Amino acid sequence: MASLFTIRHGSLSILDPGAGTGILTAAFCDRVLSTGSPVHLRVEAYENDTAVIPILTKLLGAAAREFKKKESELSFVIHEDDFVTANAHQIKQPDLFGSASTGEKFDYVIANPPYFKIAGESRQARAMDDVVAGQPNIYSLFLALGVSLLKPDGEIVFISPRSFCSGLYFRRFRQWLLSRSTIRQIHSFQSRVGLFEHDSVLQENVIFKLENGVTADSASQPIKVTVSKDKDFSRSDKLHVDRSTIIFEKNGDVFIRVPASLHDLSVIRAVDSWPFTLNGLGFEISTGPVVAFRATEFLSASDQASPKFAPLLWSHNLQGLNVVWPLAKNGKAQSIRIGEPSRTLLLPVKNYVLLKRFTSKEQARRLYAAVLRAAQFPHELVGMENHLNYVYRPHGDMTEDEAYGLAALFNSQLLDDYFRTLNGHTQVNATEIRTMPMPTLSEIVELGKLIRADVRRNVAPSLDVYLENIVANYDRTLAVREARA
Ligand SMILES: C[S@@+](CC[C@H](N)C(=O)[O-])C[C@H]1O[C@@H](n2cnc3c(N)ncnc32)[C@H](O)[C@@H]1O
């Protein structure tokens, strides 16, 4: 992380919010001293865990002595304080407090912020409601304040979960961040094994380097994307990627994509050239309304549907491309009571594409879809549990060809790779699926026909081969368009 900064000479300052024992600042000190030029470095660290303060103090003291030996100087301040509440005024009312307009800002911020959700009504979240919404994760507050505390040409390098790059909860934060800073570099890790083995962090982590401010010039420069395979950063792959490939605007939202290879870039290029989205094709995606623990009074273990009970579908009912019901699993309810009180939890049986909302890291794919065929599901109503998303045609019916075509798209390697550049966690949100580009309806129908023919012949669908044809179509169109441009 320290190696990513552009080191200047003379008088420098760095902020380390949530400094712990000071390891990041120590790496930065090493980096500065390795330039060989005398510097004066001012360090400010925030840490609210009193147990680590003595170590942090000792470390910064040792660093100061090291600087002296090299004809340089290091001064430091340790704030035994809550970084967020001590600085939130920077964002809320920058002109009311002297420190915001006249106080010290920093050339550099280096941060490995804490990660945990805080209550929306907490003092910290309320102080920063211009930047975050709902129940924010504390790391987004640290990052926003880190950016606010930079000098005009200052740089921040941080490591954090990549959840802020997509998803509704971080939308306001993303918009805020991208309007105030410029992404210079994104580093991701191909494999988490061996790197975060002691952490219980469930998400992929990324390192970002941002520069304070957005100018026409900075916004036109490509973003450096690096990927390391293990702890050895020197063996990282490097790419320079167009800003518009990384910062992806769709449906009024903005996302930060993290491609990990040249392959990912060609996937993004191919899928971005598709002209539609689900909505544009007349489909909608929603999340299963049955939250089991809130609906216990309606749920039943019975695996017999009747005028009083409708089938209840969970992720485990998705088997290959099919929906299998009844199917017992871990004593989960199999049906749901039909009646006025449970009316909003039930859906009419139609053709649907069901998509799992959660897949485990071990599963090869993130996107996992199956088809609920009305013709083979002799019930009037069905319950969908909350771990499922379902795609349907709100006005009318989805044909079987359309359903198989869509399910095939979702199950393809191509869309799975595309989805991974957008989303670093194992959760598949309907909002993200809504932003996914789609080919034309006739291409989806054609794909559906091919898949159904394979299913009828009882052969494994040659999904990725069929998709290659669609991709090749768009590649040709793109090539012609680019040649004309
Ligand atoms: C993920 S650790 C990183 C520590 C260190 N920077 C490193 O990389 O090893 C986050 C640190 O932030 C501290 N912390 C958590 N909440 C804080 C807050 N509100 N203000 C200041 N420090 C905080 C924790 O005590 C912890 O030391």
Q: What is the pLDDT of residue 391?
A: 98
The stretch 110-128 carries a mean pLDDT of 90
> Rounded to the nearest whole angstrom, what is the distance from the C-alpha of residue 54 to the centroid of ligand 1?
14
Q: Is the CB of 18 under 6 A from ligand 1?
A: yes
Q: Is the CB of 46 under 6 A from ligand 1?
A: yes
DSSP secondary structure code for residue 222 in this structure:
P
State the DSSP H helix or E strand holding residue 84, giving kind and residue range, or none if neither. Answer: helix 83-87
> Rounded to the nearest whole angstrom, what is the distance from the C-alpha of residue 138 to the centroid of ligand 1?
11
State the DSSP H helix or E strand holding residue 431, giving kind and residue range, or none if neither. Answer: helix 430-435
SS3 244: helix
Mutational pocket test of ligand 1: of 112, 117, 149, 201, the residue with most ligand atoms within 8 Å of the beta carbon: 112
The stretch 24-39 carries a mean pLDDT of 96
> Rounded to the nearest whole angstrom, what is the distance from the C-alpha of residue 455 to the centroid of ligand 1?
54
Q: Is the CB of 161 under 6 A from ligand 1?
A: no
> Rounded to the nearest whole angstrom, what is the distance from the C-alpha of residue 18 to the centroid of ligand 1?
3
The stretch 116-132 carries a mean pLDDT of 87
Q: What is the pLDDT of residue 221?
A: 92
Q: What is the pLDDT of residue 101?
A: 37
Q: Is the CB of 122 under 6 A from ligand 1?
A: no
Q: What is the pLDDT of residue 465?
A: 86
User: DSSP string covering 101-168, please?
Assistant: HTS--EEEEEE-----B--TTSHHHHHTTTT--SS-BHHHHHHHHHHHTEEEEEEEEEEEEGGGGSSG
Instruction: Please tell me the residue having the least CA distance from ligand 1 atom 6.
Output: 19
SS3 295: coil
Q: Is the CB of 82 under 6 A from ligand 1?
A: yes
Q: What is the pLDDT of residues 190-208, one digit of tens each?
A: 765 444 454 444 458 899 9
Q: Which of 108, 114, 168, 171 is nearest to 141 (CA)?
A: 114
Structural tokens at position 56: 């942090």
The residue count of the chain comes to 485
* Cα-to-chain-centroid distance, residue 431: 12
Please state, rounded to an integer, the average pLDDT across all residues of the chain.
90
| Domains recognised in the chain with CATH numbers | 2-260 (3.40.50.150), 279-477 (3.90.220.10)
Task: For the chain, give the percent of residues with pLDDT over 70.
Answer: 92
Q: What is the pLDDT of residue 61?
A: 98
Predicted model pTM: 0.88
> 272 exposed, middle or buried (CB, 10 Å; 0-12, 13-18, 19+)?
middle
Q: What is the pLDDT of residues 218-239, one digit of tens each?
A: 878 999 999 887 777 777 788 9
The β-bridge relationship of strands 237-241 and 223-228 is antiparallel
Q: Closest ligand 1 atom to the C-alpha of 86? A: 20
Q: What is the pLDDT of residue 97?
A: 45
**Per-residue pLDDT band at 457 (split at 50, 70, 90):** very high
CA distance 25 to 67: 13
Range with lowest mean pLDDT among 9-23, 220-234, 242-256:
220-234
